[in-house]
């Protein structure tokens, strides 16, 4: 709701994201929150000083979140193409309508928080971004065990929808990311200047997930990237190569991962219709980032 509101408002005002200064952000956020509080089910937030404080905290979190989103978008050449993109039983999407055994079909529903797009050299590149209230990263072990399929399923759906809508361009993934909605506290042993504090603050919102291992795409996602990107999870060694801590994935491996997620989801669907309901506790010891 928030990003959709801001995207429309920025488009209506013919502004860029980096032109939305704090005064404008707070005014728009206040307008949106005030509108929400007029709804009867939300008026409980006006019932006590404690709840009113929560509203102030919410506004502060939204302000910092929008500032970080604007910073990230302005650093690259991708533009938000969709916000809160809902899929509600669209029978035409193969990515979300999985064929099960016995002529059954499983239809997946969901909402993609954000899809960014870049058209270049006859190719449309997409990133899918999921907003979270807590820290989350891509874990190959969780994907393999069927615990983290959502973001990749959304990517498959976004690529299919975009491919169907565009006749003369190939559609490829550029990355899948999680964004933590937060008002982070910056912990430092050093006394930071105002600029240093702002830089650390924005960097704390760095996207987590996977970036396609392609220098051109990386530069399109963060055009100012040199050593340590504050936008996407990539760093460089002194030699100029990407460090082993960079969260990148080869384009072919991404294709295999997308195919695996489809097959895994189908397998889980068959288990559901076959009545497989026995408890299968899962103990996670250490993230498998590979």
Beta strands per DSSP E along the chain = 79-87, 97-100, 104-107, 110-120, 123-132, 170-180, 208-212, 248-249
Contacts of 18 (CB under 8 A, 6+ apart): 70, 71, 73, 74
Closest Cα partner for 58 from 142, 161, 181?
181
pTM here?
A: 0.87
pLDDT at 242 over 90: yes
pLDDT digits (tens, 9 = 90+) for 47-63: 778 877 888 888 888 88
Q: Helices 22-37 & 49-75, crossing angle to 10 degrees?
A: 130
Paired strand residues for 128: 115, 176
Burial 260-271, CB ≥16 within 10 A → b, else e: ebbebbeeebbe
More confident residue, 26 or 211: 211
Cα separation, 248 vs 83, whole angstroms: 24
Tokens of 214: 């392609």
The alpha carbon of 131 is separated from its chain's Cα centroid by a whole number of angstroms, namely: 5
The alpha carbon of 230 is separated from its chain's Cα centroid by a whole number of angstroms, namely: 15
Query: Which of 33-37, 143-147, 175-179 comes out lowest in average pLDDT?
Result: 33-37
More confident residue, 7 or 153: 153
pLDDT at 164 over 60: yes
β pairing state of 208-212 and 248-249: parallel
User: Which DSSP state fits 282?
Assistant: -
- Which pLDDT value is given to residue 289? 56
The alpha carbon of 206 is separated from its chain's Cα centroid by a whole number of angstroms, namely: 11
pLDDT at 191 over 90: no
Tokens of 219: 């530069």
Instruction: Report yes or no: 25 and 63 within 8 Å, Cβ to Cβ.
Output: yes
Closest Cα partner for 207 from 260, 151, 262, 154?
151
Alpha-carbon separation of residue 157 from 48, 181, 186 (angstroms): 44, 24, 37
Express as a percent the part of the chain with pLDDT over 90. 46
Burial 180-196, CB ≥16 within 10 A → b, else e: bbbeeeeeeeeeeeeee
pLDDT digits (tens, 9 = 90+) for 81-109: 988 888 876 667 888 889 999 889 899 88
Domain boundaries, the chain: 1-75, 79-290
């Amino acid at each position: 709701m928030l990003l959709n509101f801001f995207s429309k408002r920025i488009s209506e005002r013919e502004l860029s994201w980096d032109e939305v200064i704090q005064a404008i952000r707070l005014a728009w956020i206040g307008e949106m929150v005030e509108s929400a509080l007029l709804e009867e089910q939300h008026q409980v937030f006006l019932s006590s000083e404690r709840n009113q404080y929560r509203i102030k905290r919410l506004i502060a979190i939204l302000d910092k979140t929008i500032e970080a989103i604007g910073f990230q978008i302005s650093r690259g050449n991708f533009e938000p193409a969709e916000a809160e993109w809902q899929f509600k039983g669209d029978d035409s999407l193969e990515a979300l309508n999985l064929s099960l055994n016995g002529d059954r079909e499983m239809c997946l529903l969901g909402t993609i928080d954000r899809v960014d797009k870049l058209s270049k050299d006859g190719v449309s590149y997409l990133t899918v971004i999921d907003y979270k209230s807590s820290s989350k990263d891509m874990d190959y072990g969780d994907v393999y065990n069927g615990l983290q399929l959502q973001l990749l399923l959304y990517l498959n759906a976004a690529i299919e929808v975009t491919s169907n809508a565009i006749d003369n361009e190939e559609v490829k993934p550029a990355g899948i990311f999680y964004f933590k909605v937060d008002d982070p506290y910056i912990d430092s042993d050093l006394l930071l200047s105002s600029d240093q504090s702002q830089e650390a603050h924005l960097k704390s919102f760095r996207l987590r997930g996977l970036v396609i291992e392609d220098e051109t795409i990386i530069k399109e996602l963060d055009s100012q990237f040199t050593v340590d990107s504050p936008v996407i999870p990539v760093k460089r060694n002194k030699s100029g190569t990407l460090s082993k801590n960079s969260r990148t994935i080869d384009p072919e491996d991404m294709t295999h991962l997308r195919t695996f997620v489809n097959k895994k989801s189908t397998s889980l669907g068959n288990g559901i219709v076959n009545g497989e309901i026995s408890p299968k506790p899962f103990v996670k010891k250490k993230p498998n980032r590979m």
